[in-house]
Structure 1
Amino acid sequence: METTAREFNQKSSQILAAAARGETITVTKNGVAVARVVPINDDVPPYPTDPMGEIDLPDLGLPNLTNDEIEDVLGGMGT
């Protein structure tokens, strides 16, 4: 289903009801698709909860510096 931004504004309740029934609605503005209203699938969370998993960083053999030591080193940079 496709609708204009104006029609979405005027008929949002009906469009959301269509999404609740399983339809995907593309919203256009001046003939260009700008948004998509999709039904929510309960199997998929609304946002990624752990997209990358654990990150294993390689040991580069660098010294462990405190925040103050890093600030001292970077203090004059970029000013």
Structure 2
Amino acid sequence: METTAREFNRKSSQILAAAARGETVTVTKNGTPIARVVPISDIDIPPYPTDPMGEIDLPDLGLPDLTDEEIDGSLERRGA
């Protein structure tokens, strides 16, 4: 499929839907191809961790495990 840049601006939703169906769309400007909208699959998308920093290994400092309430109480006593 081929479309002009002007048509792409007007019908971008339909063009993206066509790509989602598996079509490749070439966008032209003044008759010259300038871009291509191609379908992607799950294998094209790199896996990213859900946490932007990924897993973090913290050293064991031998400190006691505190409950949320104990932490909140300690912060309140310090005026935080």
Asked if these proteins are the same fold (TM beyond 0.5), I'd say: yes
> Unpaired segments of 5 or more residues in structure 1?
47-79
Alpha-carbon displacement from aligned partner over 1:6-54 (angstroms, at most 9, x marks no partner): 00000000000000000000000000000000001211236xxxxxxxx
In structure 2, the residue matched to 1:40 is: 40
Does 2:35 align with 1:28?
no
Q: Quick one: distance in 2 between partners of 1:2 and 1:32?
A: 11
Q: Determine which structure has the larger helix proportion and give its number.
A: 2
In structure 2, the residue matched to 1:14 is: 14
Letter in 1 for 2:6: R
Q: Give the structure-2-normalised TM-score.
A: 0.55
Structural RMSD (CA)? 1.1
Q: 1:45-56 counterparts in 2 under 5 A?
A: 45=45
Q: Quick one: distance in 1 between partners of 2:36 and 2:15?
A: 11
Q: Give the secondary structure class of the aligned counterpart of 1:43.
A: helix
Q: Give the secondary structure class of the aligned counterpart of 1:27.
A: strand
Larger Rg: 2
Q: Quick one: distance in 2 between partners of 1:25 and 1:38?
A: 6
Q: Quick one: distance in 1 between partners of 2:32 and 2:11?
A: 19
Q: Give the secondary structure class of the aligned counterpart of 2:40.
A: coil
Q: Give the structure-1-normalised TM-score.
A: 0.55
